[in-house]
Copies of this chain bind each other. A is one copy, B any other.
Amino acid sequence: MTTVPKGYSFAVAAAGFKRPDRNDIGLILSHGSAAAAGVFTKNRFQAAPVLVCKELLAERPVARALLVNSGQANACTGEEGLANCRATLELAARAAGISANEVLPTSTGVIGAQLKMDKWAAAAPQLGQSLGTATAMDVAKAMMTTDTFPKFSAKSVALPGGEVRVLGMCKGAGMISPNMATMLGFVLTDADVAPSVWQEILTYAADRSFNALTVDGDTSTNDTVLALANGASRVAAADAKSVKLLRECVLAVCQELSYRIVQDAEGGTKVAHITVAGAKSAAQAELAARAIGNSPLVKTALFGCDPNWGRIVAALGRSGAEFDPQAVVLTIGGVLVFEKGQPSPEDLDALLAPSMRHQDVEIALDLGAGRGSFTLLASDLTKRYIEINADYRT
């Protein structure tokens, strides 16, 4: 049973941007005005829908609908791309019977091509017909590109005033190294929460979930997580205790989605949980964790189930984090591998073999330099990743 928040309807349409007969437009409609929050890519090149979302949220942090299309990113498309993005808001608003400035747009797909507006115009009326018959899962499927499964998480939490529901969905399998957000994600709740608090909750959750994973170190131009809180439960999250409970529930939803992204990494077979502790600061711990999680040599060793820990240490050494090499302690799957500048005298290959065969591999480092820590989820690097990305457009 999925606990879908009250007061939302869903719609999908098949425009044929990349393949015929596949839903590639999705719409989420809140039955009333909802507090709206967003976190966006820090890439200097920002896609048209990112720019439009930021503009709309700056004007008014409320919205009625979230719109997504897959197959075309509408990034690096200049003024024409912005005009096209605004035109899609008109088309979707007309289908849903609301105003264009109440719709927040998102797009994902190939960078650099203009939206196929004829296909958009032809498909938009389907959204109106679909509204109320489609499910949240249908929207999660419509936003997929190279994803092999839809990413979905739904939880409920009992606030002092009553139960509220939080639902999250996202897409993402490649060009994944979110910076303040990931490839498209939506979070919905029926809690009644002020827009400014809702934004704080989303930022808090995104920093600890989508911003703590990597597939290939490539931050997209379209990364966006949008969140609506429509209050349809008539349960308010206004007091500190309620806000905290809601925040932890949103975080749990976002972390589940984040795990699913790494699990579905393009060609991926592993999820490495890389924890760096004892760093001079959290930022230094993140620097170290990302150097390891993005190292092609560490990632290929993971793929090969090879406990080649020297590559982890070498990546740490070039990360820019400050520490004394003699103070570093490395464990893999709980097995002590390296300390005091040299390897454990045990037969490491034999001891580590079982951990390396699991889908989830725990890599823990203590730098012995302070109290900063960071945990990164990282995928491995496989032949299938190369196949997918060498031929993506063909």
Interface of A toward B, CB cutoff 8 Å: 42-46, 73, 75-81, 110-113, 174-175, 177, 179, 216-221, 294-297, 300-301, 303-304, 306, 308-311, 313-318, 323, 325, 338, 340-343, 381-383, 385-387, 389-394
What number of copies of this chain does the assembly contain? 2
Q: Are A306 and B391 within 8 A (Cβ)?
A: yes
Interface contact B381-A296, CB-CB below 8 Å: yes
CB <8 Å contact, A45 and B314: yes
User: Is there contact, CB below 8 Å, between B80 and A315?
Assistant: no
Residue of A216, A304, A340, A391 contacting most chain B CB atoms (<10 Å): A304
Can you pick out 14 interface pairs between chain A and chain B where the beta carbons lie within 8 Å of each other? A76-B343, A112-B313, A175-B311, A179-B318, A216-B297, A218-B295, A219-B314, A219-B317, A221-B310, A300-B386, A303-B386, A382-B386, A382-B390, A383-B383
* Residue from A220, A318, A383 with most neighbouring chain B CB atoms (10 Å): A318
> Is B76 a contact partner of A310 (Cβ separation < 8 A)?
yes
Q: What distance in Å separates the Cβ of A266 from its nearest Cβ neighbour in chain B?
A: 9
**Contact: B393 with A306, CB < 8 Å?**
yes
A314-B81 in contact (CB<8A):
no
- Complex CA gap A80/B309 in Å reads 19
The interface residues of chain B lying within 8 Å CB-to-CB of A110 are 308, 310
Q: Are B340 and A78 in contact (CB under 8 A)?
A: yes
Contact of A218 among B75, B80, B296 (CB under 8 A): B296
Residues of B within 8 A of A304 (CB): 389-392, 394
Identify which of B73, B80, B174, B390 contacts A306 (C-beta below 8 A): B390
Tell me the minimal C-beta distance from A49 to chain B in angstroms: 15
The answer on a CB contact under 8 Å between A174 and B78 is no
Residue among B42, B310, B387 making CB contact with A75, cutoff 8 Å = B310
Please give 14 more A-B residue pairs, beta carbons under 8 A apart, in addition to A112-B338, A304-B389. A43-B317, A45-B325, A75-B310, A76-B342, A78-B342, A110-B310, A112-B309, A174-B297, A218-B315, A219-B317, A221-B314, A296-B389, A297-B389, A308-B393
